[in-house]
Amino acid sequence: MLTIYRRLLWLYPKTYRREFQEEMAEVLGQLHADSANAGPAARIQFYVREGAGLLAGALRENWRQSLTRRFTVRNEFRFPKATWILMTIILAGVIVAIEKGEAIVASVPHIGEPVGPIHSGDHSLLVGIIGSFVVIYALGLLAWGIVYAMRRSEVH
Amino acid sequence: METMPLTEPVLMILLSLAEQPRHGYSILKDVEEMSAGRVVLSTGTLYGALRRLLDDDWIERLEQKDISRGKQSYRLTQRGRKNLQFEVNRLKHLTKLAHLRIAWKES
């Protein structure tokens, strides 16, 4: 039983284990030795109390560590190089699109004339806008994926 | 000094360390004795509280030579003692108030 309880210590985060595992194992051993002289009811109480305490403690410490890590990442957050490259590519794409648009406008005759009704079959503008959004979102998702992967690998 | 009201286990741990430096097992036994068996801390609860108190600089590890990690002792820092005193004063005030209110109701 004591071995199982010692194994439960592995549920704690690594940094916590490094600091307290040895002490906790020693105290558990001493308490276990005390409970050996006690009656069965007291022994059951000991097992339940220690089991619940270890599980609750492990849960609390893991939660605390994940929160601390999240806030630390936010505080020290820097955009990775890949994001800057992606942002530059997106910006270049936008500039090229604007230039292309201007070229199309310049090449169309009678630009001052009122624009006629858009035929229902002509969806190229709508498709273009949706396509642009899809591309931008895909790039954003890719950038987020890169940042997330770097966070997971603790580069930051 | 303003602090949040302490939980009973934390208050008991601080009271145990107020008397003298102690290691984990000794704290558990002292808390049990102080509360006449009412408060029995588990190892997980004790070390969770000790970790928080160490982080907040309320307690510190006692430098000891030739002592295994398992017998690491802790003691109150100046800050921990001040905060404990603050909490005891708060409880005193609360108890006094409670006595007055109960006495007023009875009269």
In this structure, are A103 and A125 located in the same domain?
A: yes
In this structure, are A36 and A97 located in the same domain?
A: no
Which residues does chain B have within 8 Å of residue A19's beta carbon, measured at their own beta carbons?
A: 51
pLDDT greater than 70 at residue A156: no
Which residues does chain B have within 8 Å of residue A27's beta carbon, measured at their own beta carbons?
A: 24-25, 28, 43, 46, 70
In this structure, are A93 and A66 located in the same domain?
A: no
In this structure, are A20 and A48 located in the same domain?
A: yes
Q: Are A86 and A145 in contact (CB under 8 A)?
A: no
In this structure, are A51 and A66 located in the same domain?
A: yes
In this structure, are A131 and A103 located in the same domain?
A: yes
Residue A120: both structure tokens together: 């229902």
Q: Are B87 and B5 in contact (CB under 8 A)?
A: yes
In this structure, are A47 and A94 located in the same domain?
A: no
Question: What global pTM score does this model have?
Answer: 0.63
SS (HEC) of chain B: CCCCCCCHHHHHHHHHHHHCCEEHHHHHHHHHHHCCCCCCCCHHHHHHHHHHHHHCCCEEECCCCCCCHHHCEEEECHHHHHHHHHHHHHHHHHHHHHHHHHHHHHC
Residue B26: closest C-alpha in chain A: A27
Smallest Cβ distance to A16: which of B23, B46, B51? B51
pLDDT tens digits along B86-107: 999 999 999 999 999 998 877 7
In this structure, are A39 and A60 located in the same domain?
A: yes
Helix (H) or strand (E) holding B96: helix B78-106
pLDDT greater than 80 at residue B7: yes
Interface of B with A (CB under 8 A): 23-25, 28, 40-48, 50-51, 68-72
In a domain, A89, yes or no: yes
In this structure, are A66 and A97 located in the same domain?
A: no
Boundaries of every domain in chain B? 8-106
Could you give the CA distance from residue A76 to residue A31 in angstroms, rounded to a whole number? 43
In this structure, are A85 and A35 located in the same domain?
A: no
pLDDT tens digits along B52-69: 999 999 999 988 766 666
> Is the domain defined by B8-106 classed in CATH 1.10.10.10?
yes
Residue B90: both structure tokens together: 């708060």
What pLDDT sits at residue B55? 93
A residues 74-113 lying closer than 8 A (beta carbon) to B: none
Average pLDDT over every residue of A6-34: 90
Share of chain A above pLDDT 70, in %: 77
Smallest Cβ distance to A57: which of B44, B68, B72? B44
In this structure, are A61 and A16 located in the same domain?
A: yes
Q: Domain of A66? A: 2-75
pLDDT tens digits along A70-96: 665 555 556 666 777 778 888 888 888
In this structure, are A102 and A65 located in the same domain?
A: no
Q: Minimal Cα–Cα distance from A63 to chain B, Å?
A: 12
Smallest Cβ distance to A53: which of B25, B43, B50? B43
Q: Is the ipTM of this complex over 0.90?
A: no
pLDDT greater than 80 at residue B2: no
Could you give the CA distance from residue A55 to residue A5 in angstroms, rounded to a whole number? 10
How many domains, in total, are found in chain A?
Answer: 2
